[in-house]
Each structure stands twice: as C-alpha cells, then as structure tokens.
C-alpha cells in the first residue's frame, strides 16, 4: 500500500457544510476541525464522495470503480427490503485539512497573502511523516518543526509590510521556508494562533427566487475563499494505482452548490510514500 498526498487548491469559493443547525446570523457554517481552532476541513466521506463522483462520470470500468470505492450488492428483493450489503473499497480516503487561506494585505503592493499558523504546519508535517512520507518534492521532512511564538506575523515574500493591519517581520527559517514554498507558494505568511482565530471566513448572502422572481428565502452561507489550500491523503493499493494517479491530476468539485460554481479545485499529488510506507 502506498500513501499519496494530494494538494487541493481552491479555484472558486467552497462550502462544505457542518450539518449543524446555526442559531446566529450564519445559517450554513462550514465544517471546522474540532482541535485546530477555526481551521476548515473536508471530512473523509466528503473527500471520498467528491472523488468517487468525479471518477464515476469519467471511468467506464465498473470493476475498477468497485475495487477503489466499494459497492453495494444484493438482489432486487434485498434492496427493496433494505438488506443490501456494502462492500468497502480497497483505497482509504482521509479527510482534507486547510493548510493556508488568504488574508488581506493592508500595507503592500499585493491584495492578499496565503496565511497559515505554526500549529497547522506542525500538524501537517507530523501527519505526512506518520503516513510514511519523508520528502516533499525533494525536501526532507526530517527534523523540521515550526516553533510556536506568541504574537507577530512572519512573512516570506517581498512588497508586503502589513497583513490585516498588523506589521510583519521576515520569515527566518531557510530550510522550512523552502518546503513551505512547495506546500503553499512563493509568498506566504505565518500568524500566531490568536490572529488566525480572529479572522472570520467570508459570509455570502444567498437568495431563492420563486417562478415570479420574488424573493422567498434569504440566507447566509459561510465559505472557504478561493485560492485556499487543503491537503489530504489516500492510502492506495497497487491495483489500478497508476490509472488512479493519472486521473486524479485534474479539477474536482468538492462540497455543495456545484451548480453555482462552488467547490472547484485543482487536485495535484505532491508526494508519495514507498510500497511499505518508506520513501
């Protein structure tokens, strides 16, 4: 079995709902990690469901689909009685965790910078290593760690002097900087936990019109903004692995509201383990 690490770069706003009833101004909130505060996630079933829908529309090999994603079996009578059997897939899909999202540049020559925290960086690095991934695009993960310092914003990139109204200082860890440029991009910021938790996700007003064009329902929906980056892992068996990897290098839709352009993301395999979990 091989671990495949996938980057999800949002091309449009994304809404993966929490499913909870909200009693504040936001009717539909996004799913967030219960440990990493204010960090968006796509739960494992959401990742698998999106990938399965994408494959089902493009792959005609039913045996391959059943092997990767699993299937339901039983006679028509069994199905009518609700007694169909579920056969699990051989590929295992883990949830996607937000790595970075745009913050407003308040003083500089660009409008935004992709932003993360030391806590998220360390979480992702530890997860990669535990899944047997020792390198990312040639950068070794051995010994890499981001100290969590209170206060301040560290920036990698030029022409940025302030983020969300706060002054910045240079990012001063060359080895980790090289890796984060691969994981996030050539320009990024690392903020403290308090600053991260203070920044709300965008909220968009949605409206439903009846056949006469009259508004019947107005609601507010939280979204993950476009340009945000997630990472998730797939534990892939040898069978169909190359076909799976080739097909995954594409644009896949995650979450709700596909008809209005939400959730479209570029998916790319950025690293993989060896057959036995070693690079």
Q: List pLDDT tens digits, range 98-109.
A: 999 999 999 999
Does this model's pTM top 0.85? My answer is yes
pLDDT for 75: 55
d(C-alpha 170, C-alpha 153), whole Å:
8
| Stated length of the chain | 279
Tokens, residue 135: 């390198």
pLDDT for 19: 52
Contact criterion met (CB below 8 Å) for 141 and 133: yes
- Closest to 5 (Cα-Cα) out of 142, 112, 97: 97
3-state secondary structure of 120: helix
Q: List pLDDT tens digits, range 67-92.
A: 999 987 655 666 566 666 788 899 99
Beta strands in 149-243, from DSSP E residues, in sequence order:
153-156, 160-163, 166-167, 169-170, 188-191, 203-209, 215-222, 229-236
Q: Which residues pair with 17 in a beta bridge?
A: 30
Angle between helix 118-130 and 174-183 (nearest 10) = 80
pLDDT means over runs of 10, the chain (279 residues) = 96 81 62 94 95 95 94 64 78 97 95 96 96 92 86 87 93 92 96 93 76 67 95 96 96 90 96 63
Give the number of C-alpha atoms closer than 13 A to the C-alpha of residue 200, restricted to the C-beta side.
8
**Burial class of residue 231, CB neighbours in 10 A (0-12, 13-18, 19+):** buried
Contact criterion met (CB below 8 Å) for 38 and 195: no
pLDDT for 21: 47
């Amino acid at each position: 079995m091989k671990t495949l690490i996938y980057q999800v770069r949002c091309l449009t706003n994304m809404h993966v709902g929490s499913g909870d009833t909200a009693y504040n101004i936001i009717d539909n909130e996004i799913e967030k990690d219960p440990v990493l505060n204010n960090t968006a996630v796509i739960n494992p079933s959401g990742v698998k469901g999106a990938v399965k829908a994408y494959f089902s529309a493009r792959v005609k090999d039913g045996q391959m689909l059943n092997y990767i994603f699993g299937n339901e079996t039983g006679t028509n009578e069994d199905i009518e009685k609700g007694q169909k059997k579920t056969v699990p897939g051989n590929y295992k899909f883990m949830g996607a965790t937000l790595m970075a999202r745009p913050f407003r540049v308040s003083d500089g020559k660009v409008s935004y910078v992709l932003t993360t925290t030391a806590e998220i960086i360390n979480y992702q690095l530890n997860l990669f290593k535990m899944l047997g991934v020792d390198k990312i695009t040639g950068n070794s993960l051995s010994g890499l760690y981001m100290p969590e310092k209170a206060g301040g914003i560290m920036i990698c990139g030029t022409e940025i002097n302030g983020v969300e109204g706060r002054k910045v200082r240079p990012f001063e860890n060359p080895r980790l900087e090289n890796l984060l440029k691969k994981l996030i991009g050539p320009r990024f910021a690392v903020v403290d936990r308090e600053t991260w938790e203070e920044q709300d996700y965008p909220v968009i007003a949605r409206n439903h019109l009846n056949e006469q064009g009259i508004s019947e329902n107005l609601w507010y929906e939280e979204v993950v903004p476009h340009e945000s980056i997630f990472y998730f892992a797939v534990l892939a068996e040898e069978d169909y692995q190359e076909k799976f990897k080739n097909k995954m290098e594409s644009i896949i839709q995650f979450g709700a509201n596909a008809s209005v352009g939400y959730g479209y993301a570029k998916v790319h395999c950025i690293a993989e383990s060896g057959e036995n979990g070693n690079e």
